[in-house]
């Protein structure tokens, strides 16, 4: 299965999707699984290799989601799998909060070395993106002795109570779960592609928040995504991050960069914030860091991470097997994967721009590197709004063997494994265009 040399071909579909085995699994699972999961398409995966997935019925799919920006080195990259196998035969767990082991120490050193900016760093390990955000909130409050956090509308930082309190993406994610963490303010996030619609968030903070409701010296941190992820792959105006850095410096506020989706090479730089030459005080990581193993981390300036023993920890954070997978991932990223992501990002961008010239449903192409999105129009003729058109396109692409995912109100995101090849991009774009033609016809 999944012959990695045979790329210029479409995924082979042996049954209608979902096939009979997938249908049986879905029917058995539905009564027992949490209904909070979204599952836009009925994909039941058996195995994965590179960008290729095989479902339980033997159908092939090209994965342009990387399990939501996680499998940076592709599904089951041999170098990552070998590191996991080796580590899992030596040590599965020992609790890094209480004891030391070499692989955690090596990963901390690697992350401290590659994190953006020259200031010496320290690393704290967690298990997920949301946990990294929790750690950042706690560290920012602890270090500054201030309570308040500023976050952005459209932001997604996770779903644990602290992270959720910063998330400003969809009401569904917060509804019924309040009260949220106190002392959080949301402000508008600006977009480079719609500059005329923007409220200038830096002026908004200084002219409205700091003058009318919130003393600046109550604010511990501003938490921001360098490019908004779930919010729609929104790239901010060129000077935004530097102005945010200056604002933080003026008021003694920490700048916390959520690189959970955009980091680890995805945008063609190791960290997206490097596109703007800004050094954050705390960087939050997860997703792509270990190519599929659960791991999160925060990397903070050394003098910022000043909490004492016992202040914060997690039993599983920095698990040895996850750390080994992360070290293998970083080796691949540094060898050539970041550069490859940059090149393939340009290729994918060219293809999407070409598609936008041919297809009337596309409103905009945006993003950086392999973090790209297509924003769609609604279809007045059939009365479908843009979100409905998007959802239909995701479904039609899936039925042809291409797995893609929505983001924002009416966009489709492309966040494939960074190992994606030119041929795989060509095949994915051909499937996407066919699906789009069908959706344009209202089918």
Looking at beta carbons only, is 11 or 408 nearer to ligand PLP?
408
Instruction: Answer yes or no: are the C-beta atoms of 304 and 143 closer than 8 Å.
Output: yes
**CB neighbour burial string for 300-309, b if at least 16 within 10 angstroms, e if fewer:** bbeebbebee
Looking at beta carbons only, is 55 or 258 nearer to ligand PLP?
258
- The encoded tokens of residue 5 equal 């040399």
Q: How much of the chain is helix, strand and coil, in % rounded to 5? A: 40, 20, 40
User: Smallest Cα–Cα separation from 134: which of 86, 166, 169?
Assistant: 166
Looking at beta carbons only, is 55 or 225 nearer to ligand PLP?
225
129 touches ligand PLP (CB under 6 A):
yes
Residue 82 beta carbon to ligand PLP: minimum distance, rounded to whole angstroms? 25
Q: Return the residue of 124, 156, 240, 414 that touches ligand PLP, per CB under 6 A.
A: 156
405 touches ligand PLP (CB under 6 A):
no
Q: Return the residue of 56, 136, 286, 393 that touches ligand PLP, per CB under 6 A.
A: 286
Instruction: Answer yes or no: are the C-beta atoms of 181 and 162 closer than 8 Å.
Output: yes
260 touches ligand PLP (CB under 6 A):
yes
Residue 169 beta carbon to ligand PLP: minimum distance, rounded to whole angstroms? 9
| Cα 259 to Cα 101: distance, rounded to the nearest angstrom | 26
Q: Return the residue of 148, 157, 312, 396 that touches ligand PLP, per CB under 6 A.
A: 157
**CB neighbour burial string for 4-37, b if at least 16 within 10 angstroms, e if fewer:** eeebeeebebeeebbbebbbebeeeeeeeeeeee
128 touches ligand PLP (CB under 6 A):
yes
Instruction: Answer yes or no: are the C-beta atoms of 281 and 137 closer than 8 Å.
Output: no
Stretch that binds ligand PLP, among 123-131, 141-149, 206-214, 237-245 (CB under 6 A): 123-131
Residue 99 beta carbon to ligand PLP: minimum distance, rounded to whole angstroms? 25
Query: Residue 232, CB half-sphere, CA atoms under 13 Å: how many?
Result: 25
Which 8-state DSSP code applies to residue 211? I
How many binding residues for ligand PLP (CB under 6 A)? 14
Looking at beta carbons only, is 260 or 435 nearer to ligand PLP?
260
Residue 197 beta carbon to ligand PLP: minimum distance, rounded to whole angstroms? 22
Q: Return the residue of 54, 60, 230, 281 that touches ligand PLP, per CB under 6 A.
A: 230
| Cα 57 to Cα 19: distance, rounded to the nearest angstrom | 6
Q: Return the residue of 55, 258, 379, 391 that touches ligand PLP, per CB under 6 A.
A: 258
261 touches ligand PLP (CB under 6 A):
yes
Among residue numbers 191 through 210, which ones bind ligand PLP (CB under 6 A)?
none
Residue 14 beta carbon to ligand PLP: minimum distance, rounded to whole angstroms? 32
Looking at beta carbons only, is 74 or 296 nearer to ligand PLP?
296
Looking at beta carbons only, is 68 or 114 nearer to ligand PLP?
68
Instruction: Answer yes or no: are the C-beta atoms of 126 and 323 closer than 8 Å.
Output: no
Q: Return the residue of 19, 67, 96, 158 that touches ligand PLP, per CB under 6 A.
A: 158
Looking at beta carbons only, is 11 or 416 nearer to ligand PLP?
416
224 touches ligand PLP (CB under 6 A):
no
373 touches ligand PLP (CB under 6 A):
no
- The encoded tokens of residue 372 equal 């790209």
226 touches ligand PLP (CB under 6 A):
no
Sign of the dihedral defined by the CA atoms of residues 422, 427, 428, 432, in that order: positive
- Three-point CA angle 174, 365, 239, nearest 5°: 75
| Cα 435 to Cα 370: distance, rounded to the nearest angstrom | 21
281 touches ligand PLP (CB under 6 A):
no
| Cα 373 to Cα 289: distance, rounded to the nearest angstrom | 22
Instruction: Answer yes or no: are the C-beta atoms of 164 and 177 closer than 8 Å.
Output: yes
Contact footprint for ligand PLP (CB under 6 A): 128-130, 133, 156-158, 225, 229-230, 258, 260-261, 286
């Amino acid at each position: 299965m999944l012959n990695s040399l045979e790329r210029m071909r479409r995924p082979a579909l042996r049954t209608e999707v979902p096939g009979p085995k997938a249908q049986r699994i879905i029917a058995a699972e539905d009564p027992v699984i949490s209904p909070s999961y979204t599952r836009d398409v009925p994909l039941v995966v058996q195995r994965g290799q590179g960008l290729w997935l095989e479902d339980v019925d033997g159908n092939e799919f090209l994965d342009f989601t990387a399990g939501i920006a996680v499998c940076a080195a592709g599904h089951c990259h041999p170098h990552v799998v070998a590191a996991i196998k080796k580590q899992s035969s030596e040590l599965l767990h020992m609790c890094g909060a209480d004891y030391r082991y070499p692989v955690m120490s090596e990963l901390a050193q690697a992350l401290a070395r590659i994190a953006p900016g020259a200031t010496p760093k320290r690393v704290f390990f967690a298990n997920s993106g949301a946990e990294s955000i929790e750690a950042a909130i706690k560290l920012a409050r602890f270090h500054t002795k201030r309570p308040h956090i500023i976050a952005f509308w459209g932001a997604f930082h996770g779903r644990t109570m602290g992270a959720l309190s910063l998330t400003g993406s969809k009401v569904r994610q917060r509804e019924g779960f309040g009260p949220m963490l106190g002392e959080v303010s949301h402000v508008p996030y600006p977009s480079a592609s719609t500059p005329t619609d923007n409220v200038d968030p830096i002026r908004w903070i200084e002219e409205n928040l700091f003058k009318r409701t919130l003393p600046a010296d109550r604010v511990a941190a501003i938490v921001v995504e360098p490019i908004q992820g779930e919010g729609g792959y929104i790239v901010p105006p060129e000077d935004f991050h530097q102005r945010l850095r200056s604002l933080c410096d003026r008021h003694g506020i920490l700048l916390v960069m959520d690189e959970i989706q955009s980091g680890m090479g995805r945008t063609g730089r190791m960290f997206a914030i490097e596109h703007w030459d800004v050094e954050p005080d705390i960087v939050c990581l997860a997703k792509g860091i270990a190519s599929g193993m659960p791991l999160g981390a925060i990397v903070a300036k050394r003098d910022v991470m000043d909490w004492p023993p016992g202040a914060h920890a997690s039993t599983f954070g920095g698990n040895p097997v996850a750390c080994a997978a992360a070290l293998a991932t970083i080796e691949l990223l540094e060898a050539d994967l970041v550069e490859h992501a940059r090149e393939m990002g340009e290729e994918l961008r060219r293809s999407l721009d070409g598609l936008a010239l041919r297809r009337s449903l596309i409103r905009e192409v945006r993003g950086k590197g392999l973090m790209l999105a297509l924003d769609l129009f609604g279809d007045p003729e059939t009365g479908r709004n843009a979100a409905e058109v998007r959802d239909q396109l995701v479904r039609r692409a899936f039925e042809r063997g291409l797995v893609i995912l929505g983001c924002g109100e009416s966009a489709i995101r492309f966040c494939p494994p960074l190992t994606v090849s030119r041929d795989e991009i060509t095949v994915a774009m051909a499937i996407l265009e066919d699906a789009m033609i069908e959706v344009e016809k209202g089918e």
